[in-house]
Chain A
Amino acid sequence: MITVGIDVGSLSTKVVVLNQDRIMAHEVRSTGVDAKKASQEAMDTVLNKAGISFQDVESIVCTGAGKKKVPFEAQQATEVMCDARGGCHLYPKANGLIDIGGENCRAIKCDAKGNVIDFALNDKCASGTGIFLDAMAKALRVNPEEMGELSLQSTQDIEVTSMCSVFAESEVVSMIHRRTPKNDILRGIHKSIASRIYGLANRILLEGELIVLGGIAKNIGLIATLKELMASDLIVPDEPEIVGALGAALLAREREE
């Protein structure tokens, strides 16, 4: 049975085509301004990647900020359910998940069978992680992908406020003016985001084995800083971005049975 999960995030759209338990194909593209167009294009690309047509798909579940905009007929589900379903499918023993999306982050606690016990979404002050990192990359004239490694080479610890990304930005700007070394600023930025995520995870007492999802989970600097703060060990799947869409596809299959 072939099902599709599509996660229309605020910054990027992810699609996964699933055949029983095997991922046939997946696609990630930026959502841009028009979520409707982005989801249609993503669907078309993933279908011909998997070498199947739209009719072969038994059912589709869509999730994410733009789930209402999906042009084709699909059931809806919330990001929390999809993340949990996808994450626990990949690592059944995990106690919880942290999803660091472009716009906001989520902490989810699940039981042994992968059902959600508790979850917490970031409050207003902690939103905009994706935009914040991009803005910082531009301000420091650094390629966003390298921010992680550079931050690991920092020598001294500097405090960047973790209250809100706008203050963090103004502090970073003043640090740049004071010619603080770039790697140290990057480490400060990563610590600021990590402590916000740590605060979120603490709100639902997340411990034990945790999976880190979302596009920003690829940033090894952030994961290293988060590991320092959190006692639990963190697993980053190789394609952390598409786990939500995978969960949606799994839900599509369940709802079909």
Chain B
Amino acid sequence: MGTIDIMRDIVENPQRIIEDWKSDGKKVVGHRCLYVPEEIIHAAGMLPYPTFGTPEPITKADSYFQPCVCEFIRNLFDLGLDRKFDFLDSLILCNTCDGVRHLKSMWSTYIDSVPCYIINNPQKMYDESGFKFYRHELEMFKGMMEDLSGNKITDESLRKSIELFDETRRLLKELYMLRKRDVPPISGSEALIVSMASMLMPKEKANPLLRQLIDEVKTREIENADGPRILITGSIIDNPALIQLVEDMGGVVVVDDLCSSMKYFWYETKPNPDPMDAIVKFNLERAVCACMHPSQQRFDYLKELAREFKVDGIIYFLIKYCHTFTYESPTYQEKLEEETPTLTLEVDHSLSGLGQLRTRVQAFIEML
């Protein structure tokens, strides 16, 4: 399968994208979360780059952060200390959890090669005063992006970027919808690779590749996948090996509701004459992150997915010390379990405890 291998290569070594983009003097802005509006960065002529972590164990960061800080953040800080993110012209964080807030001040204190900025997004959805507050914050962010890139962001350029990013979201969603079939044409780990590659690549290159992939996948012959259909949810899983583990144990992963896949593209920007307002509403009317209130919409969204994809079991991956999702998971487990068996699993970002994980996943799949 040509296209997926191209994408797997991009995910495994993304430097080539950076070199191509920077070769003609353009800038790259890193970000860590979905609530950072990539369209504004793109409209200023810069490449929004999601800083996925790497599965290596943490070394230097442990002397700056206590070990009880979420491993994803320590991994990013480790890479920052090793100057692996020096190609970034700026790192943009947003107000989703305590760890990220302190990552901003620790990064600004100890890593001077990449400037860091945090967007103060409200954590309440469908709230008029929240839209007003967030609009002010995004105006400041837009001004910053204009200064960094030296280009003016016009309504026209913003509208074009929004359209471009929505096209990618539509294509990824179309691809994921194919997994509703009894025999999904694309495996869970492959789907995650496609989604991560599309997030990494400039969207101008990603969209044609996605169209080509969808045609190839539609006609793809897959022998029967008779294992139980699994829905995976959690925060940020940027290592396809974890999805591969579930599939090796006989599960057929049909839905992966993660920050590195469906949470990124399941919703689209509603048409709006004022593009900035469109972005404000886009972020504050989609319940993808556990930090957002009220959480009822995200819970109904999960139940709806489970029904739509005819799922037999749900696996809820929690990254150790990730407070935002850990507080919510017991209540979610109870509610989801009324209809579908649900397993909550604690995962290390560096996947160190694979042995124990394998037993738990296999036992769960044997149970379905």
Contact = CB atoms under 8 A, between A and B. Distances in A.
Direct A–B touching, Cβ under 8 Å: yes
A163 interface: yes
A131 interface: no
Chain B interface, DSSP helix/strand/loop, else mixed: loop
B356 interface: yes
Which of B57, B60, B63: most chain A CB closer than 10 A?
B63
Nearest to A160: B352
Interface in A168-216: 170-171, 174, 195, 198-199, 202-203, 205
B356 A170 contact: yes
A125 B57 CA distance: 16
Interface string B337-367: 0000000000010001101100000000000
A91 interface: no
A34 interface: no
A123 interface: yes
B355 A170 contact: yes
B67 A123 contact: yes
- The size class of the interface chain A forms with chain B is 10 to 19
B62 interface: yes
Nearest to B355: A174
B8 to A, nearest CB: 23
Given A161-B352, A170-B355, A202 B57 contact: no
Contacts of B297: none
Interface in A153-169: 159, 161-163, 167
B151 interface: no
Interface in B52-86: 57, 59-60, 62-63, 67
Given A159-B352, A174-B355, 12 more contacts: A123-B67, A125-B67, A161-B352, A163-B348, A163-B352, A171-B355, A199-B59, A199-B62, A199-B63, A202-B62, A202-B63, A205-B63
14 contacts: A159-B352, A161-B57, A161-B352, A162-B57, A170-B356, A171-B355, A174-B355, A198-B59, A199-B59, A199-B62, A202-B60, A202-B62, A203-B62, A205-B63
